[in-house]
Structure 1
């Protein structure tokens, strides 16, 4: 799949995206004007200094928040002005999330954490269990399915989070600082999983401040003061 993204359809199209917050009557702009196309099968890192708007942009891309202005087309459908329930529906169908803090439920086993996103689907209980078991095996945790999150290392917990993000076969994987709480060995293991997903044709959007982690991506969008200052295809200079 590598190198074929330009021939692939655009799955995300942002035009004139801005996001502001208000303190009293004072407008505080975070994103000023974002134009961005992301093609199916791309692995895009979003980088920039603290306060550049990385997490705000990720929240908009992930349908966790709405822009103040501008157009966001996801798979050809405008989503910038959807209601909360419509955003949630779109998010659950299209996007798998991986966060820095793992966001696993501590009282559920590894297996049950991965099963959770399938609860509202049409699968029978044994089908959900079988699919979750196979997904955990695919990230190297087939022998940990009955462990609790507290019994696992940070790297293992992040692999559980990746399995959970993938379980409904989303078109797009969004990862917000997924290695921020990991040591160097666990970081490599997690990023090798993302690399494999990229090779398999998944669209991946990764927010990171770590150059080594961003180096796994095929394209690098650099934010500065709420806008895109650089858009680099290929290796980082």
Structure 2
């Protein structure tokens, strides 16, 4: 990796001393984590720290209606949460160390759904979704918590396409690399929903579909958590870090 050096002068008590700023000659990929409904950034922080060690800038955040803004849980809408995600993306993309042309989204459940919508508004190179939820387009301004659960269950059992919902339409336009992770025993996001997403990515550069055996929606067991971390880590290493090595062949982490 190319290293840039810049000679600087520091003013101290009326005198000037010399210094040198040494910085990477290339910018790093940015990775944005989007938690699910009822979750928080805390679930993503451990994985974010591990991935940052590979040479990425990672960001986690709490959607409105969660953690410090939990008082808004009954009123926050999908539109507001998408606005949250857009703000987080823009903050990450503006970081001086981030390559704005190399940004990945990692979304879980509701966060995966929001991530697909964001791809219609901002450039995304890699999209990883664990048990992505699916919603109809109507009632967009209705509080998310007020959406009919029974209707959602029936809706997600259907095989849907890009003409049926904005999320799948965004998937059809996505040209980057995709990871879909399914839980074998998911009571909230059934297999048919994953197949709707999978079928929608008609223009993706690559698509990887993995199933976590024995896992429920929340990855309640330690074994399931480890399995997902392994799947995600392998994919990130191949797609994101691999792409960086292709672009900057002399790059190597300092600890390699």
What TM-score do you get using the length of structure 2 for normalisation? 0.28
Structure number with greater CO (CA < 8 Å, separation at least 6) is 1
Task: Give the structure with the higher percent strand.
Answer: 1
What TM-score do you get using the length of structure 1 for normalisation? 0.30
Structure with higher Rg: it is 2
